[in-house]
Structure formats: structure tokens, C-alpha cells
Structure 1
Amino acid sequence: MRNPVLVEGAGDGAAVGERLLVLWRRIRTPMVVPLLWALMYACAFMSVMLFAERVYMAIVIVLVKLLRIKRYTKYKLDSMRQEMEAAESHPMVLVQIPMFNEKEVYRLSIGAACAMSWPSNKMIVQVLDDSTDPVIKVMIPAPATEKEPPWQRHAMDDALLTCDACFWLPWSSQEMVEYECQSWASKGVNVEYEFRNSRSGYKAGALREGLEKSYAKDCDFVAIFDADFQPDPDYLWRTIPFLLTNPELALVQARWKFVNADECLLTRLQEMSLDYHFSVEQEVGSSTYSFFGFNGTAGVWRMEALVDAGGWKDRTTVEDMDLAVRASLRGWKFVFVGDLAVKNELPSTFKAYRFQQHRWSCGPANLFRKMLKEILCCKRVSAWKKFHVIYDFFFVRKIVAHFVTFFFYCVIIPACVLLPDVHLPKFIAVYIPSATTVLNAICTPRSFHLIIFWILFENVMAMHRAKATIIGLLEANRVYEWIVTAKLGNASRNKNSSRSHRRSRCRIVERIHLMEVLMGLFLLYCTIYDIMFGRDLFYVYLFAQSMAFFVVGFGYVGVYVSN
């Protein structure tokens, strides 16, 4: 005889299922389908906006190159350099290097900055250290005699690993950075080491406090480099003359050169995105409106302009963009030097890259919220420049691009597969995205064969960027989250040593990302549904995109370092 409880439970379950099915049929046609149509048209409109913006910039960059009207080529730097050398009238330059727990790469930036070719009495290297790392053991080679301390005879470098007799000293990141500064100071370089007990204001706070030092107030210009950036010796000679020639110029920005672009697929895909940013976005902004976003590093500011704009503010996590927009509203101009590159390192772990993209997406959206009224009410710039800053710089690039990439390609298209009542035009779903993708990827010819992987990975990352953008617009939780992008020091390691951090040492729990796995399952379900009941070929894209979410979700992207 059947258990009456089980029978009753089964009946209740079937009844609930039937009720849900009836409810779905009632709301599907009058509510869900019209809502999906509306969302599809909204995403299609945003897709056209993004495509139009890419076409506009492509036309401008082609004209700039064909007509040879790049703004930075109009300056006569050689004559200015000769005048400075003849008159010995070099301006005072402050070089700021902010860092936080950068034990893997701190020596790269400090060494490169101290080695720059500029009169030693006209350059101050200021290292701003907020490190809080615990004490670790550092290998130091044994001295030649017992009376001679090891740090007076040897420098810490890769050769230590092959030393026969070594000391292991307990040092923190702070002590290592301070030692490096003292080492360069003993060679005659004017180095100032500044340590803060708190991270108040994060990077903006460190830079602001650095400018408040008495010796910094005598400087005419300030160059800024993050801890993994390595400027060439002639960097100042190729940037300062711009500022001396044009008194209206506030910022000279160099592009980035990635020393570890070939480290893994993750870094290759990042290179494709950033090459477009520098080759097109920065160049177009410089050549048309004399405005673009400061990249936070590898740039030189006129001290007068920095002070006039209100200095560094920590109201968002994009203090560099904040300063650039405020300086532009004060009438200052910028120039991007496309043929001057500064070596740096790309984040090679997915965890570090994800945190970086959260900050880069949340910060601009939050800044747009806070500065929209200020931009509209500004009377010192033209209406066209206001339109460029609000529509092109902020709205399309920082908001629309993230929304349309995720919601359209990872939500609306799969939903249209599940609801065939909503017909998705191929012109919107295929042709416009393909053209937009080609315009983005063409700036990195050597990686063009990776374009499919780049598309799929960008769609995965768009989930995090769209989420961060919403957080920034609403000033929700994590809006002020600041996590320094961890670097592995790949610029100073060979391939064998860098591979010691590979995924084999990682625990499986550390590698799983639940959101990506759930999105992969959703897209895989849509793939199967389209194969069984669909009449289009969307299942080809949906299957590839679901696999991309699974690859990222199960931790098979980038280099891995165990916690």
C-alpha cells in the first residue's frame, strides 16, 4: 500500500508545477514578450551608438595618420632641448612613485626613475610607500669580510639566487623599499623616501601628501610612475619640452609597452584591448579636443595646472581621471605622445585582473554621477567639448559599452532563443557586433588570429564591468573598494621562474568562480534548447560563449598563485 504522505506530496508538487505553468502562459504574451522586445530595442540602440562611436574614431584616426596631423608632431623638441642645454635652464622635476606592498617590482620603477637622464640637482625622485606587508626572509649575499655589512657591498638582484654564501634577513616590504632608496641615494641620486602609517585616500592621498613636502613645492613639473613602470633614460627629455613650448599644456601622456604580453593568453587579450585604447581613443582625444583621460602613470603634469585643478581628490577610485576632467574644465590642454612608450607589466592572474577591471569600471561611472552637473555648468569650455566629455568619453565608453556587451550578448540573445515570439534581426545581432569587433582588434595585428577568443573573453569580463558600472552609478556597496593590482615581477624573471606560479599549485576551491559557472550553465541550456527547437544558428555562438564562461569559471585563464 502506498504511503499517503508521499502520494499527497507528489500531488502537491504536480499541482504547484501546473499552477506555475498556467501563470507563465498568462504573463508570457502580455508581459514578458513586450518587455523582451523593449529590452532588445534598447540594447540594439546602444549597440548602434557604440558602433557609430567606433566608426567616428576610425575615420578620425585614419585622417590623422594620412594627413600627418598628430598633435605631438607639431612641437620642435630638438630646438628646445638645445636651448635648455646651452642655457643650463633645466626646470625642477619631481618624480613620484606611489607603491603598496610591491616587493616583486619595486626595484624596477625606482631603478628606472633614478637612471633617467636629467641633471641630478634638478630632479627629485619621491618614493611614496604605504606598504603593510609582514616581515619576510630576504636573501642577501655574504660580505667579503666580517666587518662589512652585506648591504654596503652588494645589491639585491637575481644573482643572489646563485650565491654560494648568503644571509637570510627578516625584512618587510617597507624596509626593502627604503633600502633601495638609500642605495640610490649613496650613488648621488636625489631620492626621498616617504612612508605613511595609514592608507588614507589610497593612491590619491599618497600623491597629495607627497606634494605637500617642502622640497616638492619648488618643482615645476611632476612625473608619475606606478611601481611596475620602467621609463627609458630619455623620458624627461621627450616630455618636458612639450610643456615648456606650450604654456597652455597641462599633461603629457606616454603610451604603455607591455613586457609580459606573451606570458599567457590572458595578457595577450589584455594587450588587444589596451592597444586600441592608446592607438585610437587617446590619439583621437589628443588630436581633436586636446583632452583624454590621464592613465594614472607614465605622464608628466605641470604643477601649476595640477594645483589650479584642485589637486588630487580621493572621492572616487579613479583619481587620475578625476584630475584630468577637472583640469580640462579649467581650460588646460593635454597631449598624447604616441611614439613614446613606457615599459610595464600586465596583471597575469585572473583575480588581479578582475579587481582591476572592477575599479576601472566602477570609478568612471561614479565620477560621471558626481561631475555631470559640473560639466554641464562649466562656462570655460566649448559646447562641443562638453558633448565629447559627457557623451563620448563617459556615456558611450564607460557605461554603454559595458551594458550592451553583457546584457545584449549574454542575456537578451539567449532570452530570444527561449522566446521565439521575439525575432532578433541578424543585422543587429551579427553584422554590427562583427564590424565593431574588427575595428577594436585591428590595432593589434599580431594577435588578430585570437579575435574569437578576445570576443568571448570580453563578453565574460563584461559581466563584472556591467556590475561594477551599476555599483558606481548607484554608489552601492564596493563603490570605494581599492585593491592594488598584484604584479608578479614578470619583467625581471625568465620563463622558468614565472612558471613556478602556474595552476598546478592552486587548490581547486581557489580557482572556481561561481558567477561564471552559473552563466555558463544558463548559456549551455539555451544552446541545447536552440538545437532542439530553434530555427537559427545562434547555438553556435551560445555554445562557444558558454564554454568561455566555463573556462574562466573553473580557473583556466591566466597564471595562478595560490593564496
Structure 2
Amino acid sequence: MGRTSENLITQSGQTDAESSMIGQLVDFWFQIRAPIIAPLLQLMVNICLLMVIMMFVERVYMCLVIVTVKLLRRKPEKRYKFESIKDDVELANSSYPKVLVQIPMFNEREVYQLSIGAACGLSWPSDRIIVQVLDDSTDNSIKEMVQMECQRWASKGINIKYEVRDNRNGYKAGALKEGMRRSYVKECDYVAIFDADFQPDPEYLWRTVPFLMYNPEIALVQARWKFVNSDECLMTRMQEMSLHYHFSVEQEVGSTTHAFFGFNGTAGVWRISAINEAGGWKDRTTVEDMDLAVRASLKGWKFVYLNELGVKNELPSTFKAFRYQQHRWSCGPASLFRKILPDILKNKKVGLWKRLHILYAFFFVRKIVAHIVTFVFYCLVIPTTVLVPEVHLPKWGAIYMPSVITILNAACTLRSLHLIVFWILFENVMSLHRTKATFIGLFDLGRVNEWIVTEKLGDALKSRLVKLGRRTRMKFGERLHVLELMAGLYIFFCAVYDFNFGHNHFYIYLFLQAAAFFIMGFGYIGTFVPS
């Protein structure tokens, strides 16, 4: 009996102590909230609002340009000389330029046959085209399969070269650079590049090469990506919405207004002399394609984007592959921005307006601000404002402008308009990963040059997954993403607080966003592939 009383007294004392400590923390919070936290948070709100305005102006401007292009029907064929290549009886096939087709690949077991077959199926005089397979595979069995596939096409009369290296220095950039050193490349005028999952239609060269032939100022002709697996899962639908905007608006506007845009690394044809003049392929970042495009543009070369010419390819359908890809796509541009900034500022060959476009619109707003403001404002600052009512958060910056930005983006994929809420939540969650990668690139941190090839499932593996069941179990630890879960917990806490004590009904958005962070934090998105 005595011991029981002592235990009760001890527990009561502990409870009182804990209550007292919590009370002290609450009192401390109220003491510092108005004089310290509120001014700092208001400053963050104002900075984020400025970034929202920058994005809003950029989106509206691009929308107006696109509307003008559509109304005036300013197709590339009207802006540049374009006509079918005419046969020359005397010169025969020698009147056609010689084209090199490069296919860089790395352990592409599932898709190598598709890409090689599509490249070998391109319609072009057989003695004026060379298909070059650059195989950096580390799996010897895959190397053998790729080599045998090349030999199979060679036996059909295709001029195909199988090239390997004894190292992977420079990754894709290193492979492309090494491929350009081959003696037979000196005979070629242009080079078409296709990643291992890309499948160009046979007439691809007939629709791109004439721009280069008849317009000596053009260095690059870029085609649109056409996704073959966009309906595979909700995650691929979300990617389709984002990438459709990139191609239909960003690339189109850049091509129309400044004859400049970022090379997408594949589905494009380059003038080889332009590559050489720009300094060739460099492996200083994970976006060697963008690096080359910026350097070539600063030399005065022009680019053409063909939105009506699509090249089939595959979206990453596993969350793991998608995260690796997004890290590379976010970290690389930030790193390149830091490294190439002096070259842009010192350049005298192109006009001030074009340099300003590259610096401000192309790099700063789209590659830096867009990632940071999406995470910091919508996932940190807005949730925190419900805890600090002294902070003024205008609706035009928190609701109206972001809504316009979102609608303009989603309008490019009308078939997925009903998924717009899911897309917003998905992009906000991914902004954490992209923001982290952006800072890694800006400040040259640990994973700045991490290059992991995006996994492609291909038709063969997908058919096996169907037999195994659409959802295959994975180890729990492989799916867990701690930062996303921590962000979800914080947003959930803010939502509960706003539900009980707030007056602005932000909790509706916050509960949904917290749920999205939890779902993606536990990895329950995309296609699951057995390890």
C-alpha cells in the first residue's frame, strides 16, 4: 500500500513537472512570437511574394507569346527556310548531308532493342547515315546482347558502329565526346542524339535536317517528347502535365523569341561544327546538354524547336528512378548557373536582351526560384503563418496568383485537368527534393555530380510485372523518405492548430498537403518493381 502511494505521488510529480515545462515553453513562444518571430516570418513572406510575382509575370508573358504564335501561325517553316531535299542526278546520294546517329546507353537491358531498331529504321540514304551505339554498360551480359543486336543490323546492310570505353569518365558527356573522336565522324555534317528509350519515327531526319541544310545560322533542331507510358500510373500522369508545359510553352517561347532553349539531351539534331565551336561536350555538370546549348548560344548560334514532331519515349514510372532524375535535373542547372555566369556576363557576341533572357528567365526564375518558392512558400511559410497571426499574408499572393500559374500550366494537358489538385500536391512534395538538389548545385555540395541513369522498364519488364501483379512488395526501408515525412508531420501539426484556433481555413489545404507528404514519404506512389 505504501509503495503504491509513493508511485502515485511520483507519477503526479512527474506529470506536474511536464505540465510546468510545457507551460513554460508556451509562455516563451508567446513572448517571442510578436517581437521576434513575426518580423522574421513577415520578411520571409515578402521575399516569397516577390518570387511569386516573378513566376507570375514569367508565366503570363509566355502565355501571351504562345497565343500570339498560334494566332499568327508562326511555325518554324515560316520563320526559316524549309524545303524538301531535292535529288541531284549527277551527285546522286552525295547531295545529301551525312548524318551520325548517336545512342548512348548504360545497362539498358529492357530498351536497347527498341532504340537501336528505331535508329536503324530511320529513312535516309543508307550510305549517308552512320548509327553509333555508345555502350557504357558495366554488365557484360548486356554488353554482349547490345553488340549482337548491332551485328544483326549490320548484317542487314546498316552502317552501324558499336563503341565501348574502358572507363565511364564523364558519364554520358564522356561517351558522346569519345564517340565524336572516331575517324569516320569527320565525314558527317550533323549528329542526331537519342537516349536508349527514344524511338524516332522513320521520317524524323527528313523533318529536321532541312532546317540545318538551308539555314547556316541554325545549330540545333529539337523535337518534342511523346510519352508512351503516361497512363501507366498517377505519377506518370503528373509528369506528363509538367513536361507538356515545358515543351509546349517554355521550349516554344524560347525558340520563337530568342532562338534559344535548353537542349533536352535527346531527340535533337546538332550541326557538328557548332558543337566543335562551342567547345564540345563537357562533363563539369550533370546537364551536359544544357551546358552545350548555352555555350553554343553565346557563340551566336540559333535553335529551332518543332512541337509538331514527337519522338516516343518512356517516363520513369518508379518513384526511385523519378527522384534520381529530378535530382539531376534540379542540381545540374543550378551548378551550371554558378559556373557559366561569368561567361554570360562577359559575352559580347550576343545582344543584351538575349543574355538577360538566359540569366533571368531561363536560369534564375525557372531553375532556381521556381523550386525554392514552391517548397519554402507553400510548404513552410504558409503553414507557419497559421501559428503566427501577426503576419499578414495577402490572398493575391497565397491564392490568386498561384492559381493562375497552376491553371496556365495545367491547360497544356487538358485531358488531365481533373487531376489538377493531385498535380499541385505532387509538385509541392517534389519541391522539397528539388530544392535540396538546387542548393547542392548552387553551393557545390556532396552529390553535385551524382549521375544515376534513369531506370527504364520497357515493354518486356512491364509484361512480367503484369503477370506478377501490378503492385509488388518492396522492403519498407527502400520506400521511406525521412525529410518528406518530417515535412508532412509539421504541416499536419499546423493544420490541426489552424483547425482549432485559426480563422482563414488554410487547414483544408494543409491536411491535403500533409497527406501527400505522408503518401510519398512512405513511397506509395509509382510502379513498384521487385528488387
Shorter chain as denominator, the TM-score bin is over 0.9
| Correspondence for 1:534 among 502, 507, 525 | 502
1:506-521 map, 5 Å: 506-521=474-489
1:105-144 CA-partner distances (Å, limit 9, x unpaired): 01111000011111111111110111112x6xxxxxxxxx
**CA displacement at 1:23 relative to structure 2:** 3.9
Partner of 2:228: 259
**CA displacement at 1:251 relative to structure 2:** 0.3
Q: Residue 538 and residue 10 in structure 1: after superposition, are their counterparts in 2 closer, same or farther (change >3 A)?
A: closer
**CA displacement at 1:555 relative to structure 2:** 2.1
Q: CA separation in 1, counterparts of 2:205 and 2:198?
A: 14
Partner of 1:125: 131
Q: CA separation in 2, counterparts of 1:64 and 1:71?
A: 10
* 2:100 and 2:129 in contact (8 A); partners too: yes
Q: CA separation in 2, counterparts of 1:32 and 1:235?
A: 58
Residue aligned with 2:6, SS: coil
Structure 1: segments with no counterpart, 5+ residues: 136-171
| Correspondence for 1:2 among 3, 6, 9 | 6
Partner of 2:163: 194
**CA displacement at 1:424 relative to structure 2:** 1.4
**CA displacement at 1:13 relative to structure 2:** 5.3
Residue type of the alignment partner of 2:135: D
Q: Residue 494 and residue 473 in structure 1: after superposition, are their counterparts in 2 closer, same or farther (change >3 A)?
A: closer
Structure 2: segments with no counterpart, 5+ residues: none
Q: CA separation in 2, counterparts of 1:340 and 1:84?
A: 30
| Correspondence for 2:117 among 96, 111, 118 | 111
Partner of 1:143: none
Select between 481-490 and 20-29 the one with higher mean Cα deviation. 20-29
1:20-55 CA-partner distances (Å, limit 9, x unpaired): 445434432222111000000000110011010000
Q: CA separation in 1, counterparts of 2:158 and 2:183?
A: 18
1:155-181 CA-partner distances (Å, limit 9, x unpaired): xxxxxxxxxxxxxxxxx1111111110
1:418-449 CA-partner distances (Å, limit 9, x unpaired): 11111211111111110000000100111111
1:222-251 CA-partner distances (Å, limit 9, x unpaired): 110000000111111111110001001100
Q: CA separation in 2, counterparts of 1:499 and 1:482?
A: 32
1:545 and 2:513 are equivalent in the alignment: yes
Partner of 1:46: 51
1:330-349 map, 5 Å: 330-349=299-318
Residue type of the alignment partner of 2:130: I
Q: CA separation in 2, counterparts of 1:110 and 1:203?
A: 17
Residue type of the alignment partner of 1:70: K
1:29 and 2:34 are equivalent in the alignment: yes
* 2:132 and 2:161 in contact (8 A); partners too: yes
Q: Residue 267 and residue 81 in structure 1: after superposition, are their counterparts in 2 closer, same or farther (change >3 A)?
A: farther
**CA displacement at 1:562 relative to structure 2:** 2.7
Residue aligned with 1:80, SS: coil
**CA displacement at 1:525 relative to structure 2:** 1.2
Q: CA separation in 2, counterparts of 1:22 and 1:518?
A: 25
**CA displacement at 1:12 relative to structure 2:** 6.5
1:267-302 CA-partner distances (Å, limit 9, x unpaired): 111011101111000000001100000000000000
1:356-388 CA-partner distances (Å, limit 9, x unpaired): 000000000010001111101100000000110
Residue type of the alignment partner of 1:350: F
Partner of 1:438: 407
Paired positions, count: 525
Partner of 2:529: 561
1:27-426 map, 5 Å: 27-82=32-87, 87-88=92-93, 89-133=95-139, 172-426=141-395
**CA displacement at 1:552 relative to structure 2:** 1.1
**CA displacement at 1:511 relative to structure 2:** 2.3
**CA displacement at 1:554 relative to structure 2:** 2.0
Q: CA separation in 1, counterparts of 2:30 and 2:494?
A: 19
**CA displacement at 1:65 relative to structure 2:** 0.7
1:320-340 CA-partner distances (Å, limit 9, x unpaired): 000000000000000001111
Q: CA separation in 1, counterparts of 2:467 and 2:422?
A: 22
**CA displacement at 1:196 relative to structure 2:** 1.6
Q: CA separation in 2, counterparts of 1:36 and 1:193?
A: 58
Q: Residue 501 and residue 314 in structure 1: after superposition, are their counterparts in 2 closer, same or farther (change >3 A)?
A: farther
Q: Residue 509 and residue 501 in structure 1: after superposition, are their counterparts in 2 closer, same or farther (change >3 A)?
A: farther
**CA displacement at 1:186 relative to structure 2:** 0.7
**CA displacement at 1:496 relative to structure 2:** 7.1
* 2:110 and 2:461 in contact (8 A); partners too: no
Partner of 1:151: none
* 1:251 and 1:300 in contact (8 A); partners too: yes
Residue type of the alignment partner of 1:248: E
Q: Percent identity?
A: 62
Residue aligned with 2:131, SS: strand
Select between 345-354 and 517-526 the one with higher mean Cα deviation. 517-526
1:390-433 CA-partner distances (Å, limit 9, x unpaired): 00000000011111111111000100011111121111111111
Q: CA separation in 2, counterparts of 1:128 and 1:431?
A: 49
